[in-house]
Amino acid sequence: MTDLSSRFRYFVAAAILGAASLAVTGAHAQDTIRVGAPLPLTGPLSPEGLKQKRGYDLWAKTVNEAGGIAAGDKTYDVEIVYVDYESNTPRAVQSAERLITEDEVQFLFSPFGSGAAKAASSVSERYRIPTIAATASSEQVYDQGYKFLFGTFTPNSTLTDPLARIVADSGEDIKTVAIYARNDLFPLAIAKEMQASAEGNGYEVVSFDEFSVGTVDHASALTLMRQSQPDWIFATGYINDLILIRRQMADLGVEPQVLTMLAGPAYKEFTEATGDSAENVSSAAWWHPAVAYDGKDVFGSTADYVAAFEAEYGSLPDYAEASASAAGVILQAAIEDAGSIDPQAVRDALAGMDAVTFYGPVRFGETGQITSLEPPVFQIQGGEPMVIYPDAVKQSDMQYGGIQ
């Protein structure tokens, strides 16, 4: 051992132990509203986490530029405190507790997806922190009897029911459905919902297959579908799964009359990665940039929001990004209605909310889940997602066939 290297070791050891004795406390200004946002910024869900962050950031920036939130006779700036929970659910719960007890946030945006949102809601309920979930759709998240949890997604069945009805009413000769789902919380739940919607509308579900997380090849399942020739293929998963499935379908020549995928086609990354083969893929989402509402919020109309988003990020917002911004807008409206940042008052304002925002009309049901939205069904046509339903914002008719 040379002198230098042993001294270096001491230095490292001292640094480690020194770090151990450091205490970190969050200092914060008097008139700032702090909103905690645990997000999956690393790990498998990080693409989703980054989307949510974009939505929150845009809201916070817009609010602060407009002079902040007025509550009673005080005006507050907004600060969003982010924590990365590494796409790990228990870590999300830990993050929520840390944000509340250590960072002293007054409000919380839930972590991504139904599972983590549900797990974290027990913490925020315990501390009586009004919490808005921007990406949780399962009814099981909201039926726990919690008073402080509100969500901006309608239940999964509101996506699959209109789809099944549109195809059933089309008069096309479509009888059989094959369902192919990722064995994961949301994709599996929505696939089961689709099965119910399909059977309810008189279709025969010829196969229901699951694939495991981390599958890099779908050739066998697709080869089987090529044999069984279903009229309608319904595939669920995250965007990487759906890109791979769509490409392999094209490779193997699987060409159903209708191809529905959830939840990828709403993201521009999907059309970029699949090109022409994205054409005529149908899907549904909780929001779409083509909807038109005349919001009374800081963004104004839907078109204004889309323009603001484009100016900031250079692309159209998708439903996840918009829902995150909407969570901010809803929180802001509740604080302004309540005239204070008292948690109970804000919670009551949320429960009684009846407002129109760029995202759509906002009313929450008994459980805290939004009831006032009508999720659009859309189809990729000419490289763009075109709204098929609801009729009020319809841009195009559903095309059948043409899946190559």
Query: Is residue 272 a contact point for another protein (CB under 8 A)?
Result: yes
Contact call for residues 129 and 103 (beta carbons, < 8 A): no
Q: Which is nearer to another protein, 162 or 187 (CB)?
A: 187
Query: Is residue 211 a contact point for another protein (CB under 8 A)?
Result: yes
Contact call for residues 109 and 327 (beta carbons, < 8 A): yes
Q: Which is nearer to another protein, 222 or 373 (CB)?
A: 222
User: Amino acid identity of 215?
Assistant: T
**How is residue 50 annotated by DSSP?**
H
H or E element at residue 69: strand 69-71
Name the one range near another protein by CB under 8 A: 17-25, 27-35, 164-172, 361-369: 17-25
Query: Is residue 90 a contact point for another protein (CB under 8 A)?
Result: yes
Q: Which is nearer to another protein, 13 or 70 (CB)?
A: 13
**Nearest-angstrom CA–CA distance, 185 and 347:** 28
User: Exposed, middle or buried, 64 (CB in 10 Å: 0-12/13-18/19+)?
Assistant: middle
Q: Which is nearer to another protein, 44 or 365 (CB)?
A: 44
Name the one range near another protein by CB under 8 A: 58-66, 193-201, 204-212, 374-382: 204-212
Q: Which is nearer to another protein, 69 or 81 (CB)?
A: 81
- If binding means CB under 8 A, how many residues of this protein chain bind another protein? 76
Rg (CA), the chain: 23
Residues 248-267 that bind another protein (CB under 8 A): 248, 251-253
CB atoms within 10 A of CB 328: 29
> Which of 117, 136, 235, 239 is close enough to bind another protein by CB under 8 A?
239
Name the one range near another protein by CB under 8 A: 194-202, 237-245, 282-290, 324-332: 237-245
Phi-psi region of 237 (alpha: psi -120 to 50; beta: other; left: phi over 0): left
User: Amino acid identity of 118?
Assistant: K
Query: Is residue 216 a contact point for another protein (CB under 8 A)?
Result: yes
Q: Which is nearer to another protein, 94 or 301 (CB)?
A: 94
- β-strand 377-381 against 281-284: which pairing, if any? antiparallel
Q: Which is nearer to another protein, 88 or 323 (CB)?
A: 88
**Nearest-angstrom CA–CA distance, 87 and 318:** 21
SS3 39: strand
**Nearest-angstrom CA–CA distance, 129 and 352:** 17
> Which of 33, 221, 233, 362 is close enough to bind another protein by CB under 8 A?
221
Query: Is residue 383 a contact point for another protein (CB under 8 A)?
Result: no
Smallest gap from Cβ 286 to another protein, in A, equals 21
Residues 19-58 that bind another protein (CB under 8 A): 19-20, 22, 24, 41-44, 46-47, 50
Name the one range near another protein by CB under 8 A: 198-206, 217-225, 375-383, 395-403: 217-225
User: Exposed, middle or buried, 68 (CB in 10 Å: 0-12/13-18/19+)?
Assistant: middle
> Which of 75, 101, 170, 315 is close enough to bind another protein by CB under 8 A?
101
Length of the chain: 404
Per-residue x/- track, 119-138, another protein (CB under 8 A): x--x---x------------
